[in-house]
Amino acid sequence: MKKPRHVAIVMDGNGRWAQQRGLPRAAGHRAGLKSLREIVRVASDMGIDALTVFAFSTENWGRPRFEIKHLTRLLVEGLKTFVDELHEKNVRMSIIGKHEAFGKSIAKKVDEVLDRTQFNTGLHYTVAINYSGRTDIVYAVQAISNLVQQGELSVDEIDERIVSQFVGLHNLPPVDLLIRTGGEKRISNFLLWQIAYSELYFSDLLWPDFGESAFNIAIKAFDSRERRFGKTSEQVQC
């Protein structure tokens, strides 16, 4: 079976999952963390090279303060309880986004996990925290502009390859498959540059209900896709 090298996931539906059960939204986020741990394990066991998940967008700061507080507390709890498992499975963890915005104590805990797993050679697991796809591109443009101003790069040299070197995930394979749970069919400002040729897979399952079997179905759907990258079917099949 043809499997993707790099899978990205928009983990949507925690709040609705909790509401359907008469539970506080916090319970949905906790259940979602359980699903995340399962998917990381499954992706690692499948031999997938990279897994990137959208945990907290820059737009999420507009949510109720108590929910943000719970999400940040859950982030720290998840890191504390998950780091040993990541390390044992040879998983390397990275962050894209400005996690420093959550405060020094949380940033310190995140950095500790990154340091602990930095030399692991298995699945490269990336969490997007306080991340925006548009801002990612803006930062890349700023960095390239600085090089031009310093005379290290000419305007004529700027192409897709150069831009790709300055956006998030530049050290990883291109995103082959983008999964979004929760029934919504939109990108929500996630990895706008990186998913240009990704296959898109939308699941009606809410994130806490998205487990190993659902992930396998998504991988099988990817296997059935013909990836043409602008070419014709005849050219791809040659």
Residue 110: exposure state from Cβ atoms within 10 A (0-12, 13-18, ≥19): buried
Q: How far is CA 51 from the centre of its chain?
A: 6
Whole-angstrom CA distances from 155 to 141, 145, 170 are 12, 9, 21
Which pLDDT does position 106 carry in this prediction?
80
For residue 98, the tally of other CB atoms under 10 A from its CB is: 15
Residue linked to tokens 């394990």? 41
How confident is the model over 107-159, as pLDDT tens digits?
A: 888 888 899 999 999 999 999 999 999 999 999 999 999 999 999 999 999 99
Element (H, E) at 50: strand 50-57
CATH number for the 6-132+173-237 domain, one of 1.10.3720.10, 3.30.70.260, 3.40.1180.10, 3.30.420.40?
Answer: 3.40.1180.10
Confidence of residue 231 (pLDDT cuts 50, 70, 90): low
Neighbours of 55 (CB within 10 A): 23
Q: What tens digit of pLDDT does each residue of 51-88 get?
A: 999 998 888 888 888 888 878 888 777 777 888 999 99
- What's the DSSP call for residue 132? -
Which amino acid is residue 121, in one-letter code? T
Q: Are 10 and 180 in contact (CB under 8 A)?
A: yes
Burial (CB < 10 A; 0-12, 13-18, 19+), residue 147, is middle
pTM for the full predicted model? 0.93
Listed by start position, the domains of the chain span 6-132+173-237
Q: In the predicted model, is pLDDT for residue 26 greater than 70?
A: yes
**Letter for the amino acid at 66?**
F
Please give the backbone phi and psi of residue 81, each rounded to the nearest 5 degrees, phi first.
-85, -15
Give tens-digit pLDDT for 220-230.
999 998 766 66
State the catalytic residues.
12, 60
